[in-house]
Structure 1
Amino acid sequence: MKSKILVTTILSGLIIFSSCKKALDYTPKGVLSSSDLKSPTAVEGLVTAAYAAIGNGDMIGPIYSDWAYGSVRSDDAYKGGGGTGDVGEVDALEHYNLVTPSMDSFVSRTWKNLFKSISRANVAIRAVNSLSDAEFPNKKVRLAELRFLRAHSYFTMKLLYKNIPIFDETATAADILKVSNTLSNDDSWNKIAADFQYAVDNLPTTQPDLARANKLNAQAYLAKLRLYQAYEQDDKHHVININKTRLQEVVTLTQAVIASGKYSLSADIADNFLPETENGPESVFAIQFTINDGTTTGRLNFEDGLNYPHGAPQYGCCGFHAASQNLVNAYTTDANGLPNFDTFNNSIADLSKVTVDTRLDHTVGIDGHPYKYDNTKPFSNSWVRDPGVYGNFHTMRNQQLATSASYFKLGPFMGSAKNYDIIRYDDVLLMQAEAYIELGQQASALPLINQIRNRAAASTGRLKKLDGTFPSSYNVKPYSPANWTQEYARKALQWERRLEFATEGARFFDLVRWGIAETTLNDYINVEKVRRPFLATAKFTAGRDEYLPIPQSEITFTNGLYKQNPGY
């Protein structure tokens, strides 16, 4: 299905369970002895295994798909599924106040899966370092790739848990038990940044295998890290300062990616969500998946395996990740083709009477609208599993058609070989725009944001119904320089990020970065709980709910060396 793909299936043997509560685990085919690791070929295998590890999460321990952590915990989506008790850990995440350090799946399992990927990278780094430059001419490049992969996993952990232990390849098993999670916020960011910087300094701009990290990937990822680091937090997670030096680094790093000319916006945003157009000009760094690769099931994304329309006969399970009414309303536009910033959520939008941003129909399954660009099978309210609890909308960006060559059904669950983009070019543009705005240079942000909006306006080619008409009335226009103040630009940027990355898992982390999670999410709950009574007891508590708890099992394992996050 893909050419020149590095990541092969290192692990196989999927075990299928009969309920959504259970997940898919990989079983290793074998283990290597130390004598097997003395050849360049064996070491290359360990590098490949480290790449594989960043895609080795599962349904209840996700490490790349943030639908539960970044979408359901935000105002973008509800848990969905068969009522609040179905995969109750995600219901706890959605309510905030039900999350506990003892949750065995999600909170604890994701931690373990991420550290497995970090361990893979450290093992491979040690093996690479055991060879001389003469024995292994690619030594410096492979070390840079591995440090990039390690930084990716630590970055993910940092967003989820904030206070994490960080150790490198020199740490022994005994050393690891002495490393606490009490580094300052800035120090832990800098430790992760050092790996990305090493990758920037030592990776080539172009790699022979498309899955391998390159210099531009590292610059984009380092920019993302510095953007988060710029919003300095105190110990209670309040944003107390925005560091202008870090913002300037973001501008410089993103400009290097932009100026390279290697990446660009795809003509249609749909290209980002279809396997036929993956690895396109907009994909900066992605986890690669495969199917029909000679193994039993291929190497597939099952982290989104619960999130297909339950009542659709071509799927049959499981109806999780339902789009919120708030998100649907956010896509409405005014007479000028701009967002209804202040009034969007005053009522339930009548989609037959309002104009909307095109990205609504790239994101949300709506009754009578083409589902995933297939106008022969429009989405139907009958596909919704529990409309009385979660309403009639669904999400669809990370789902694939059952007729797609990337689609695979294993028991009741769905898998896909569609790549999972970690960083896209649209993100690079909006990161730079955000930095410019917070630097007081909002005029430089305007054309960047308008590139995104102009692409959205043009992304209608796949949206028509079978009769040739559009399912919605679209009106998307660029922003004008008039009244483009810093305050207005900030509001526009934050709105644009929501529309551009809706249901992809970015939203919650954006809100935390900006320091507006408490206000935004409690305002959301106060309105949404009237529409969706299952949210009646939900409440976001500042100083606690910005991050997951440190798993109690890890605190126990380290005899209390790890300290619990505030509020838990």
Structure 2
Amino acid sequence: MKMKNLYISLLACAALLPLQGCTDVSEEVYDKYISDEFYGTPEGSNAALAAVYGQVAGNWGGVGYAGADNSWYDLNCMSSDEQVIPHRNTGDWQLDFARLYKHEWLPTDGIVVNTWNWLYKSVFNANLAVELLENGGAEQSKIAEAHVLRAFFYYLLMDDYGNIPFYTDNNITVDQIPQASRQEVYDFVVSELTTYVDQLAADKGGVYYGRFNRWAGYTLLAKVYLNAEVYTGTPRWQECLAACEVVSQGAFTLHSGAANENSPLGNEYFELFGDVNPDDETIWSIFATADVVSRNIYAVRSLYGPHAQTLFGYSGWNGTIIPQDYYEKFDAADMRRNQFLVGNQGGGINYAVNVTSLDNPGAAPMAGVRCVKFYPAGIANGGGASNDFPIFRYADVLLMMAECNVRLGNTGAAKPFIDQVRQRAGLGALTANPTLTDVYNERAFELHFEGHRRQDMIRFGTFLQPNLFRGASQEYRKLFPIPTAAMDANHLLVQNPGY
């Protein structure tokens, strides 16, 4: 908990700075110290960065990468095939999530708007941090951190929205921000990362558990290269592989997959999704302490109310389910299947695999497979738990190396990477060299519920395929629309095709 307490202290420091600026102080040297010197100190540079990292942590109101609801996580996960919150035939739950799953979202939909607003607030904070740290003469690794954070937000923006408003100086009004092409934003992100990742601290864990160090920076660069063909039309498999190979020099390993009778899910593997994510495999994670900073709602949001009350001591939200076809992909011997609750749970709780309706009239109260991958840990209540959220894990890096090698024709070289992940899950090694289908499926099994699926589906060409609740989607659904409010505020913007 020590590192969490440090992180919370940094956020509090950042929050207090505007209040200090409003204090009635007559000496001009105070203002000069704040602007020209304070952000060059360790305390000042940490405060500037904390204001940006505070945007990554998920909380209410559609804020953050993951942890709460109606935000980036929901937009990207529920538009894929891995999870959805159906409207219930009892009248529970709005239709937003079912609309995402059925690819029926609109430019006015709340989750589309929330994600846009969060990311642009994050860009604004990152721009400010870059300016403050550079003007204050901060330590170069801290300046690099601010640049890489900004690149991270622009990466998420171009991934979701394509051609987007782009600016690096906050001294501009919303109606004057120019729209950059996806290619231009991609080029910027790659340039920023290749310029600054080697200037990041190489330290692992400790204060860098929840911050960008060199290994997290190279993992981000690998993710950008992994999807380069989607963004620009030109694949960058060799560049992605090279970035992953740098990360592999960071002494990361897969966490144990041994049985553990003290784990509620029966295996040490699930420690990766607990109160503190083990730093043998975790590369970058979101701190969460419920009701203090961030939260993790994903288990309590999934379970039926009385069932959660029995297991956790507080009621569940009866929300998220795992679609039948996704659940049935998992091998019965795969210990990762332990995250799913299906069938008779006792006490009158019986989760049916089959769901016949998402919206009209909706699903029955106990229809749908439930997921407790993030089994509540630490401080927890009906508003969420304190499970930290892994943004990047070494298992993802291994699977990226497997994918790049397959795409480059080196299937033999790919096999050891995918086999490591499979064998940790209790499965045997592949009997032949992996195909792209093997890689695609393994990513589904290993990274489920962690925010990667939509991107994977688009890259592998499956995102538009029909499912049990809709026909094939049109090409334009690979991008989300620019929100109507953003279009109204800036007439320089051109809406994405199809909207």
The TM-score range, normalised by the shorter chain, is: 0.7 to 0.9
2:197 aligned partner: 200
Q: Distance in 2 between matches of 1:11 and 1:443?
A: 47
Q: CA deviation at 1:85?
A: 6.6
Q: Classify the secondary structure of the residue corresponding to 1:217.
A: helix
1:90 aligned partner: 97
Q: Distance in 1 between matches of 2:128 and 2:60?
A: 22
Q: CA deviation at 1:307?
A: 3.8
Q: CA deviation at 1:383?
A: 11
Query: Which region of structure 1 is more displaced relative to structure 2, 391-400 or 323-332?
Result: 391-400
Q: 1:11 to 1:423 in 2, by over 3 A?
A: closer
Residue from 237, 241, 254 that aligns with 1:265 = 254
Q: CA deviation at 1:89?
A: 1.8
Query: Which region of structure 1 is more displaced relative to structure 2, 444-453 or 149-158?
Result: 149-158
Q: Classify the secondary structure of the residue corresponding to 2:464.
A: helix
Residue identity in the other structure for 2:336: R
Q: Distance in 2 between matches of 1:566 and 1:192?
A: 24
1:119 aligned partner: 124
Q: CA deviation at 1:299?
A: 1.0
Residue identity in the other structure for 1:87: Q
Q: Distance in 1 between matches of 2:59 and 2:175?
A: 24
1:544 aligned partner: 476
- 2:74 maps to 1:68: yes
Say whether the 8 Å CA contact 1:308–1:315 is kept in structure 2.
no
Residue identity in the other structure for 2:97: V
Q: Distance in 2 between matches of 1:67 and 1:365?
A: 22
Say whether the 8 Å CA contact 1:251–1:432 is kept in structure 2.
yes
Q: Distance in 2 between matches of 1:367 and 1:154?
A: 42
2:364 aligned partner: 388
1:336-485 aligned at under 5 Å gives the runs 355-361=332-338, 363-368=339-344, 380-381=349-350, 388=364, 391-400=367-376, 404-407=377-380, 409=381, 413-457=382-426, 476-481=427-432, 484=433
| Greater fraction of residues in helix | 2
Q: Classify the secondary structure of the residue corresponding to 1:518.
A: coil
Which protein, 1 or 2, shows the higher relative CO under an 8 Å CA cutoff with sep ≥ 6?
Answer: 1
Q: Distance in 2 between matches of 1:415 and 1:441?
A: 44
Q: 1:439 to 1:493 in 2, by over 3 A?
A: same
Say whether the 8 Å CA contact 1:37–1:43 is kept in structure 2.
no
Q: 1:316 to 1:388 in 2, by over 3 A?
A: same
Residue from 445, 449, 461 that aligns with 1:515 = 461
Taking every aligned residue pair, what percent have the same amino acid on both sides? 20
Q: CA deviation at 1:58?
A: 2.8
Say whether the 8 Å CA contact 1:288–1:420 is kept in structure 2.
yes
Number of equivalences: 454
Say whether the 8 Å CA contact 2:85–2:93 is kept in structure 1.
no
1:310 aligned partner: 305
Residues 345-402 of structure 1: per-residue CA shift (max 9 Å, x gap):
xxxxxxxxxx4422111x3122357xxxxxxx999427999852772311112341xx
1:564 aligned partner: 495
Q: Classify the secondary structure of the residue corresponding to 1:422.
A: strand
Q: CA deviation at 1:265?
A: 0.4
Residues 298-321 of structure 1: per-residue CA shift (max 9 Å, x gap):
113256464444232233231221
Q: Distance in 2 between matches of 1:69 and 1:366?
A: 25
2:359 aligned partner: none
Q: 1:6 to 1:142 in 2, by over 3 A?
A: farther
Q: CA deviation at 1:218?
A: 0.6
2:47 aligned partner: 45
Q: CA deviation at 1:329?
A: 0.9
Q: CA deviation at 1:540?
A: 4.4
Residues 56-84 of structure 1: per-residue CA shift (max 9 Å, x gap):
54354553355522332222223146457
Report the TM-score when normalising by structure 1: 0.73
Q: Structure 2: where are the runs of 5+ without partners? A: 23-30, 258-268, 356-361
Q: Classify the secondary structure of the residue corresponding to 2:179.
A: coil
What is the root-mean-square deviation of aligned Cα atoms in Å?
3.0
Say whether the 8 Å CA contact 1:59–1:302 is kept in structure 2.
no
1:33 aligned partner: 21
Say whether the 8 Å CA contact 2:81–2:323 is kept in structure 1.
yes
Q: Distance in 1 between matches of 2:155 and 2:273?
A: 24
Say whether the 8 Å CA contact 1:282–1:426 is kept in structure 2.
yes
Q: Distance in 1 between matches of 2:166 and 2:97?
A: 27
Say whether the 8 Å CA contact 1:6–1:212 is kept in structure 2.
no
Residue identity in the other structure for 2:159: L
Q: 1:62 to 1:50 in 2, by over 3 A?
A: closer
Q: Distance in 1 between matches of 2:136 and 2:6?
A: 22
1:490-529 aligned at under 5 Å gives the runs 490-519=436-465, 522=466, 525=467, 528=468
Q: Distance in 2 between matches of 1:508 and 1:321?
A: 17
Residues 475-513 of structure 1: per-residue CA shift (max 9 Å, x gap):
x221023xx3xxx61110011001111232321221112
Q: Distance in 1 between matches of 2:66 and 2:461?
A: 23
Say whether the 8 Å CA contact 1:147–1:198 is kept in structure 2.
no
Q: 1:507 to 1:129 in 2, by over 3 A?
A: same
Say whether the 8 Å CA contact 1:197–1:218 is kept in structure 2.
no
Q: Distance in 2 between matches of 1:62 and 1:51?
A: 10
Q: Distance in 2 between matches of 1:405 and 1:508?
A: 30
Q: Classify the secondary structure of the residue corresponding to 2:84.
A: strand
Q: Distance in 2 between matches of 1:381 and 1:109?
A: 34
Q: Distance in 2 between matches of 1:379 and 1:506?
A: 34
2:246 aligned partner: 256
